Amino acid sequence: MRVEGKVVIVTGAGQGVGEASAKRFGEDGASVVCVDVKEGTAARTAAAITGSGGTAIGVTADISTAEGNQQMTQAAVDTYGGLDVLHANAGIQYMAQLEDTPESEWDRLHGTNLRGAYLGIKAAVPLLRARGGGSIVITASLLGITGDPDLPAYGATKGGLRAMCRSLAASLGPDNIRVNTICPGDIETPLLKEFFDYQPDPAASRKAITDKYPLGRFAEPRDVANVAVFLASDEATYLSGIDIVVDGGLRAKIY
């Protein structure tokens, strides 16, 4: 029960890593505010947590807006009395090389992935300070460290999250607020299916990329969720301003 008694907000909790993280936080004793923009998905995740004996509520909110982030933080205060952890996880992607990426898609990705995290953290920090400290866990990506020719807009947002993490770790450390990023490789989520569906031969592409992983598989959402819970827990109280790469050994290889 690593996070027993803590109040945790998880954005993008309707599917993928966010859903797995919300459930994992619930298993380990947290009161979870599940947030998603898609109607009903956050409530579904919350129902799964409470159905397993945990504590959770679902909030439908658009985290690309200040209003959406105020809505989710207010729900944490109104329901559970405060906030200890923000897992800024919500993210979207767009498949195209840079010259084929419309400005509207660039802005849409930055609005959710980068601006959304900024607005969420801005709303959460006063609540974390009021608790005497806390943890912010940001889902970045391996593509914030390395590149993919078909995901420049996505990679730009994830690199921005890593840079923001460092600045926040430096500025918020005196308030006992830790800030870290998780940088996963490929994860078995709807975004990964979208990536392979974009390829000329999805099955061949999946096999070729899987074969590059020393562990011989892509991550499951729970693999990332386990790291999120660790970073939010008291076991990680001296970790701040770092990336934890969750890539099955992919970057350990040269070729």
Phi and psi for 217 in degrees, rounded to 5? -160, 165
- In the chain, the number of structural domains is 1
Q: 1 in a domain, yes or no?
A: no
Q: 252 in a domain, yes or no?
A: no
Q: Quote the pTM value.
A: 0.95
Q: 41 in a domain, yes or no?
A: yes
- Amino acid identity of residue 179, one-letter, is V
DSSP state of 220: P
Q: 2 in a domain, yes or no?
A: no
How does pLDDT run across 50-92, given as a tens digit for each residue?
A: 999 999 999 999 999 999 999 999 999 999 999 999 999 999 9
Q: 240 in a domain, yes or no?
A: yes
Q: What is the CATH number of the domain that holds 202?
A: 3.40.50.720
Q: 218 in a domain, yes or no?
A: yes
Q: 49 in a domain, yes or no?
A: yes
How does pLDDT run across 194-225, given as a tens digit for each residue?
A: 888 888 898 998 999 999 999 999 999 999 99
Q: Give the integer Cα–Cα distance in Å for 132 and 53.
A: 28
Helices vs strands, H then E, count in the chain = 9, 7
Give the residue numbers annotated as catalytic, written as ranges: 154
Q: 111 in a domain, yes or no?
A: yes
How does pLDDT run across 135-160, given as a tens digit for each residue?
A: 999 999 999 999 999 999 999 999 99
DSSP-based three-state secondary structure for 214: coil
Residue range(s) defining the domain that contains residue 214: 7-247
